[in-house]
């Protein structure tokens, strides 16, 4: 189904092409949505957790477009194995994802926030799910 109808979720994902299809497939299957608005940056979990004000505001602007124009009510934040933009351990990525949740919550949007990890097999693991306030 193409056109302006359908339901949306928003993915804040690394630009790494290896993560795109697994994340899209997982989100459409588990959230029962038609489309995924994708916001990408290299090492986006670190950017959102520790980036400059301008970098974080750029991501926020994109989320707001998805929220306002497409009525997305779920934001998924993704970290992944073998990330060139954030070459850290899984443990460090998970710390970044925790901080990302707090950043997105500070925007005070009525959205669910989930964090995902794409593992060494390019399979998606649900890390956390926070329901909208």
Q: Which residues of 21-45 are buried (b: 16+ CB within 10 A; e: fewer)?
A: ebbbebbeebbebebbbbbbbebbb
Query: CB-side exposure of 20: number of CA atoms within 13 Å?
Result: 10
Q: What is the pLDDT of residue 122?
A: 97
Torsion of CA 7, 11, 17, 20, to 10 degrees: -40
Q: What is the pLDDT of residue 1?
A: 45
Q: What is the pLDDT of residue 132?
A: 84
Sign of CA dihedral 59, 51, 97, 108: negative
The CATH number given to 8-130 is: 3.40.1050.10
Q: Which residues of the chain have pLDDT under 50?
A: 1
Q: What is the pLDDT of residue 5?
A: 78
Q: What is the pLDDT of residue 2?
A: 52
**Backbone phi and psi for residue 95, each to the nearest 5 degrees, phi listed first:** -65, -40
């Amino acid at each position: 189904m193409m056109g302006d109808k359908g339901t949306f979720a928003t993915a804040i994902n690394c630009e790494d092409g290896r993560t795109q299809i697994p994340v899209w497939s997982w989100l459409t299957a588990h959230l029962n949505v038609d489309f995924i608005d994708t916001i990408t940056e290299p090492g986006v979990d670190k950017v959102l957790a520790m980036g400059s004000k301008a970098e974080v505001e750029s991501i926020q602007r994109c989320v707001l477009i998805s929220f306002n124009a497409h009525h997305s009510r779920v934001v998924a934040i993704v970290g992944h194995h073998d990330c060139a933009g954030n070459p850290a351990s899984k443990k460090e990525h998970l710390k970044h994802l925790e901080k990302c949740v707090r950043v997105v919550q500070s925007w005070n949007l009525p959205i669910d926030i989930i964090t995902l990890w794409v593992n060494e097999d390019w399979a998606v693991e649900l890390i956390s799910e926070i329901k909208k306030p």
